[in-house]
Structure 1
């Protein structure tokens, strides 16, 4: 749900209802996952949408469209026109707090041009699950055709109105985050006091550097949830180890920022843009006076890198690529191929391959292999697992092929790497 402290949901609902009555357009409020809230479905869905959603995976297709559109609108921070995965034109108004996405408003169910044979041909390709295509064509004939300039004007009006509702600014959000960080650090300190024995083995720089390596691995893979979670733990341990000494914290934060920037480039970010942002980061922390400020700037830098924002390059399709990466990260242990990933996103394997080459400068299979090797490196730290078990756990069917790939990426054979750890 969108935080009621940041958005007046009741007032927003009134605006959406009046907008829908005036335009006759379907309007829905969705979260970052593309899930709409029933309370805000302010107009009846058109017969076309009802028909598509009644088919197998129809609702999932709709939700995936909303999620992708929300991500793109948030990235551009302006109304975003989009063709949904069923073939209709929709537009999205982002709801964000100075770049932090909270969700979006979806407006849909229209055509911007009179359907022609090319439109129907593409419609058939986009909806292979529809067995009665003549019925779908009839429902297309019931849709309104709205001139593009009128559609753009409606989007702009709703965008300006909605974003005036934001009650809190980024400073408030930073204070909340800082407070939460302080609470986590205090809890960690209390836990350490109760577990002195465990603390002796986990509070040295060896343990800190091991956590740092795991964190950088998630940056390279673009695994946002794990990277952010590991960053919190890393910063907490840094504070504990340095006993809050600000000079040491500043030095370590600067080192970490440099390592993060390199990992981001290895993960597909543009080197020139990353170096500019690293320089800006170093200038900011020179003015910091409190530990929380160092940590806050570090969190922002990591978030920007992980989101592959516009400042890191004009990447128009990063939403789809991020979905593909998430699917791979969740399923790397299975025997997945390009076709499996593309099917999850409702796009063709060739289109997905083009996006990966454009966005990450690698193939889909290259990325799957990279994920598997990175995960293997992590599993190698568990002495109870043999090399053969690690190979199988990360999705390799052949141990010899695993050894070949591992050696290519890491520089040494798996067994040699394992022996170096213990």
Structure 2
């Protein structure tokens, strides 16, 4: 079995020299310090701006370790107000050292550099120099970033749950299914992650301790999201392969924590596959939107909601409606509702208020107004002229 062995100080110094040369082309007034995995300087630290401030080994070690933990540069300030940031150096997955940077306040880079935004940009550029030189494990850092983002978004979801409490797993499923599908169809990874975290928190919040029940709910979500991925342009054969592997690994999951990580991992893999596939043409999304409207016109639908469900921006959706159907969202929705209303007026004994509610109008007066404007007669007049007496 291969074991980890530390990188020698001489090798660290050689690699640091290459990093410093590359980085200082764009940031000549940023001081760099090489430290080992314990925060000890490798070389002379006397010229480092923060050395006289009392910042030393313990702080440098903390900066580097936190950078590895979060998967991105870790920013701080010294007692004199200098900006500090650090990035890790790794040997495979093991920390072997780090590069600490400091910006001398009042240097020639001026006020633009002396700002949080500029410092963040400089810090991320240092990380890019390190990873592009294969001096840090980019995959490990990316995984750590994803883990940190997951934990942060889970905390947000827990906080939001105070205003969004679920009374059952079924309620949670019904409430979150539509936004999750919309995020996948739009290939919006960030939105999908947010919904997924609400789902996980919601499942645990309802108080069930039955792991098999949780697996059943997760399995239902998996079926739905893979179907949405295919509708979003994913390769059905590839999606089916992922789906089959998902089932096998799901059944081997033994506790809630692994179940959560399993679901996050498979969502990420699915989004990776979608990013490699060409997007569906806008016309196909328009057809899907119209089909959805026909199936749900009796609900409280909005243009933005339907556009999100098929992965279109609201303005693009409106433009497609004008170009291909010569209509607006509101007119199309009202036409669908009125078409059904006409059927009910001539084929049923339902009252006008009941019909208005049945087809999706908030009240009878607005229903009558729209009906008269589009058809040139009131619902009562239409019913009489088509052979039904008003009730």
Work out which of the two has the higher radius of gyration on C-alpha atoms and give 1 or 2. Answer: 2
TM more than 0.5: no
Q: TM-score range by the shorter chain?
A: 0.3 to 0.5
* TM-score for both structures, normalised by structure 2: 0.43
